[in-house]
Amino acid sequence: MFEMNFGAESLEIQLQRDGLSEAYAENLRRATAYATELAETGLLPFAKQSSEGPELTDVATAATHIRAGFKHLIVLGTGGSSLGAQAAIAISRYLPDHVAGTNTHIHTPDSLCPFEMDRLFAALEPAKTHVLAISKSGTTAETLAQLLACRAWLETKVSGDALGAHFTFITEPGERPLRTYGEKLGSPILDHPTDVGGRFSVLTTVGMLPVAVSGLSAAKFRKGAEDVSSDFCENPGASAAVVGAALTHTLHQHKSVTQVLLMPYAEALRAFTRWHGQLWAESLGKDGLGTTPIRAIGPVDQHSQLQLFLDGPNDKFCTFVTVPSLGEGPRIDPAEAKSYGLDYMAGRTIGDTVTCQSRATQETLRGKGRMVRELVIDRLSEENLGGLFVSFMLETVVTAHLMGVNAFDQPAVEEGKILTRQYLADL
Quote the pLDDT of residue 100. Answer: 54
Window from 47-51, 96-100, 163-167, 387-391 with minimum mean pLDDT: 96-100
Task: Convert the pLDDT of each residue in 33-48 to its tens digit.
Answer: 999 999 999 999 999 9
Report whether pLDDT(97) > 70: no
Quote the pLDDT of residue 31. Answer: 98
Positive or negative, the CA dihedral 28, 34, 37, 41 is: negative
Task: Convert the pLDDT of each residue in 308-325 to its tens digit.
Answer: 999 999 999 999 999 999
Quote the pLDDT of residue 319. Answer: 98
How many CB atoms lie under 10 A from the CB of residue 410?
16
Note if the pTM is more than 0.75.
Answer: yes
Answer yes or no: 282 catalytic: yes
Quote the pLDDT of residue 116. Answer: 93
Percent of the chain with pLDDT over 70: 98
Cis ω before 334 (30° cut-off from 0): no
Section 338-367 average pLDDT: 96
* pLDDT higher at 423 or 252: 252
Residue 322 sits at φ, ψ, to 5 deg, of: -125, 155
- CA neighbours within 13 Å on the CB side: how many for 328? 13
Report whether pLDDT(413) > 90: no
Confidence of residue 103 (pLDDT cuts 50, 70, 90): confident
Catalytic residue among 142, 282, 374, 382: 282
Answer yes or no: 303 catalytic: yes
Confidence of residue 421 (pLDDT cuts 50, 70, 90): confident
State the pairing for strand pair 167-171/105-107.
Answer: unpaired
Catalytic residue among 3, 37, 125, 417: 417
Section 367-389 average pLDDT: 96
Section 80-97 average pLDDT: 90
Confidence of residue 426 (pLDDT cuts 50, 70, 90): confident
Closest CA to 47 of 196, 242, 238, 210: 196
